[in-house]
Structure 1
């Protein structure tokens, strides 16, 4: 039974979901880093919010960990590259608190426009400063949305409903999507120049960090108001303070800060700034939603292999997972076969999908092919980190798909280009579930792979099979199955022999020395 640790506060319903789906769960919150490292090794999954820090050091001792689930959007507290290198899937719940965070941004915009917090404080103090608080309308103003994804698009939709003009900067926003939202897609400099209000809804990455610095703020319209309910590191706080002090920026509403919890800040005490303590996702509905979603996603992954909202591997729906399962075994065998017969540097890998498999979600299958291909050459390779390892080694990876297949209803072919040669191996499923090799380097051969195998390239000449059988027999190695293939009589041939035990190096040398043998290789596959 898979076992999950919940190390931050989640809804009790999350625990129930884990248990209902056959996952054992422990709830231990408030762990210090050393305490987490001391126990994480016995868990398959780790469910967190923002408090737990999943560092490289934690991952190094998480020997059984398969998945980290973040109940929320941001994963700043997870070392995703280190998790990927360790083969740990990192999931988040990008939709559970989208509406809540978007509504908080809209609320902050209203509060900023009408100076509500300061007016509230003044009125509670018994002052009646009606003339002091002169706000501005949102109607007809231009809202600049930086980042128009899940949350940004909801904010844009609400702003359009308020009769605001909305301009959006997002490199991934298509023209069609912008039109559907009723927003104008612009470059960042134009947004800064035109916007009366600017709201940020982008993750914190190297590309977005300090997106609003002194240089960017200088490009904004005088009197601009800024809202940030995304991540504190998007704004250089010292530069924002300077722009507020100079009067160029009329006000700011911040729910997030560069350092959290923000007990002290150069921005505190300024009436032009509204501050809340990272409340974007703090509604009853959102807290419940993200907790339930992360429990469901992690359970599905650990029990069925379904992958949803993963940041470091392709998604596999619960519907696709059972369809892909037999192909996953085939993909691993094909990749492993190609990897074991490859002895020089890899340059490129092409995975060809033909027939029924071409209609499926093939990205996870390609990742598994890469895992099988790289595993004989490198340690600790899995379907999560294999694509990254391939990129790091400048191995080009490509997929091709054809709905029709020549000889089989479904076929996967792996083509590996090395420094010296091109290797190919193809396979199919018999009965929809049993992996079979059907072609090796253009030679047709049908074989079921087993734990211990011999792969032999030989000249098609009489006496070869007898000599090979005698050599194996003299060494006390029993033949389980014997598969042969050739291009034509007397030409190149292939023998794929399943044996009951490992072929020792000395025996392999004797086989290599047999007449007609061009190449002999001992292969091993997971039973």
Structure 2
């Protein structure tokens, strides 16, 4: 795999990649857009920070690209929808720099409250002035936090440690989470109206862009302080400048801007304002954070190569990280069931149903459904289908997909069943885990019991004496060694389904001879991605 790095990334954090002989890493920092477009086609993965725009134009040149890794929390520089349409996985590092971002928020907040920046300049200029730099304590102030996520939550705890009262607005959290942080969950209007200090900690999207605008500034207390260490554009910068110029806002501290580096006249005036404390997007710029996010995305790329689940993919349904180890065997099972079904079922399915029975049904099974769907569709289409675009591909092909969960089960602690409907009829396959190993227990309506192997032979025929011997003889004559066999039937001398695991591929000529010898109603050589 070839990996392109386009922004400054910690070398020590890249060791999971550079120490892997399967991976070639190229660092090309500061490429012009046309240069990046010319070279991206030769890479399987790209690692960026905020300095590279991974948009539709870039992705249209990225024929080999499988994964976009954003070494940081925000993904507003990545067109996730465009990546998803191409089956490209987008991963980020949501935990690697949150502590650094929270600490930087507190650093510039406290520096602004105590006039550290301008006092430092004054003293360096040979002055000894104290009165002009009289500041404010955090103790007893009301701090409004917009967005109580990973960073916002840490800022809330730190403000509480300074004995401030904290209000928070976040439509996606519960009262319980707010209580856990010791803060009051309220409306955006109340945060705007009652806060002495307001700090924003949301992603940048259509919902949060200009979440604080001129109208909001008008409703704030006189002398309010504003802090933005999240994303430029969350606060309307023209309105911010007006609030500073009018004196409505006593001061502001910004680490991020809607345009980086800033070029517009509004931003230049905002940055130059004497009551504005600014830093050039340093929130994640600690040695610790840079290493952490690099390690996190590097490990995700290695996980991708190894076929392991990705913990931080933003465009794939995923399990709670605490459940990942528990769910890995079920992901392997549903993938095998999907691959098996795709090779036995008729083309052009109209509906695919995934049913989860027993203990597995207690969990969110959507990632399992997408995993199994991707395995099925990847075999039957020319397009590269994975967990990123499986749902889109199914929708495009007019396939209805449903997921059913029930804790009731007859014989197994957990059971996964896939049912497929098509104009040619219905098909079913079911499997379970035995001591953590996948096992298939039903084909169509036939009870069966076998462990999937790379090469399998499936035969449906009318059972009668001597047929198993004939099959074995023909396979032996063609140097195909049988490893195991499982026979399922509903009644004596009735219709039967037999599955052989074999040590090598069964060639079409051999398949035809076996089919003729037993008068097979159905015969198929199946190859699975297991070893």
Instruction: Identify the residue that residue 372 of structure 2 maps to in structure 1.
Output: 369
Q: Is the 8 A contact 1:345 1:418 kept in 2?
A: yes
Instruction: Identify the residue that residue 254 of structure 1 maps to in structure 2.
Output: 254
Q: Is the 8 A contact 1:169 1:191 kept in 2?
A: yes
Within 5 A, what are the aligned runs for 1:35-434? 35-125=35-125, 130-266=130-266, 267-303=270-306, 305-315=308-318, 327-339=330-342, 341=345, 346-347=350-351, 349-354=353-358, 364-375=367-378, 378=381, 379-387=383-391, 389=393, 395-400=400-405, 402=407, 406-408=410-412, 410-416=414-420, 423-428=427-432, 432-433=436-437
Secondary structure of 1:226's counterpart equals strand
Once residues 479 and 284 of structure 1 are traced to their aligned partners in structure 2, the CA distance between those partners, rounded to angstroms, is: 58
Once residues 375 and 522 of structure 1 are traced to their aligned partners in structure 2, the CA distance between those partners, rounded to angstroms, is: 19
Secondary structure of 2:429's counterpart equals strand
| Change beyond 3 A, Cα 1:320–1:243 | closer
Q: Is the 8 A contact 2:456 2:499 kept in 1?
A: no
Shift of 1:233: 1.8
- Give 5+ residue unaligned stretches, structure 2: none
Q: Is 330-339 or 136-145 further displaced after alignment? A: 330-339
Shift of 1:92: 1.9
Q: TM-score, normalised by structure 1?
A: 0.80
| Change beyond 3 A, Cα 1:395–1:117 | farther
Q: Is the 8 A contact 2:13 2:290 kept in 1?
A: no
Once residues 217 and 369 of structure 1 are traced to their aligned partners in structure 2, the CA distance between those partners, rounded to angstroms, is: 50
Verify: 1:18 aligned to 2:22, yes or no: no
Question: Which residue of the other structure, out of 494, 497, 500, is the alignment partner of 2:506?
Answer: 500
Once residues 321 and 288 of structure 1 are traced to their aligned partners in structure 2, the CA distance between those partners, rounded to angstroms, is: 24
| Change beyond 3 A, Cα 1:20–1:114 | same
Secondary structure of 1:198's counterpart equals strand
Secondary structure of 2:271's counterpart equals coil
| Change beyond 3 A, Cα 1:451–1:502 | farther
| Change beyond 3 A, Cα 1:280–1:321 | closer
Secondary structure of 1:268's counterpart equals helix
Once residues 327 and 159 of structure 2 are traced to their aligned partners in structure 1, the CA distance between those partners, rounded to angstroms, is: 43
Shift of 1:524: 5.5
Shift of 1:148: 0.8
Once residues 203 and 383 of structure 1 are traced to their aligned partners in structure 2, the CA distance between those partners, rounded to angstroms, is: 24
Shift of 1:62: 3.9
Once residues 21 and 335 of structure 2 are traced to their aligned partners in structure 1, the CA distance between those partners, rounded to angstroms, is: 27
Secondary structure of 2:180's counterpart equals helix
Once residues 324 and 105 of structure 1 are traced to their aligned partners in structure 2, the CA distance between those partners, rounded to angstroms, is: 37
| Change beyond 3 A, Cα 1:149–1:320 | closer
Once residues 168 and 39 of structure 1 are traced to their aligned partners in structure 2, the CA distance between those partners, rounded to angstroms, is: 45
Once residues 436 and 294 of structure 1 are traced to their aligned partners in structure 2, the CA distance between those partners, rounded to angstroms, is: 33
Within 5 A, what are the aligned runs for 1:473-488? 485-488=488-491
| Change beyond 3 A, Cα 1:244–1:427 | same
| Change beyond 3 A, Cα 1:227–1:388 | farther
| Change beyond 3 A, Cα 1:388–1:187 | farther
Shift of 1:48: 2.3
Shift of 1:228: 0.4
Q: Is the 8 A contact 2:338 2:375 kept in 1?
A: yes
Q: Is the 8 A contact 1:9 1:29 kept in 2?
A: no
Secondary structure of 2:226's counterpart equals strand
Q: Is the 8 A contact 2:15 2:295 kept in 1?
A: no
Once residues 442 and 256 of structure 2 are traced to their aligned partners in structure 1, the CA distance between those partners, rounded to angstroms, is: 58
| Change beyond 3 A, Cα 1:238–1:37 | same
Shift of 1:361: 8.5
Shift of 1:521: 8.8
| Change beyond 3 A, Cα 1:129–1:185 | same
Shift of 1:264: 4.3
Q: Is 341-350 or 51-60 further displaced after alignment? A: 341-350
Shift of 1:294: 3.0
- Give 5+ residue unaligned stretches, structure 1: none
Q: Cα deviation per residue 1:279-328 (whole Å; 9 max; x = unaligned)?
A: 11122332233233333443344346242222222457999878766644
Once residues 417 and 168 of structure 1 are traced to their aligned partners in structure 2, the CA distance between those partners, rounded to angstroms, is: 49
Q: Is the 8 A contact 2:102 2:155 kept in 1?
A: yes
Q: Is 209-218 or 436-445 further displaced after alignment? A: 436-445
Once residues 122 and 129 of structure 2 are traced to their aligned partners in structure 1, the CA distance between those partners, rounded to angstroms, is: 7
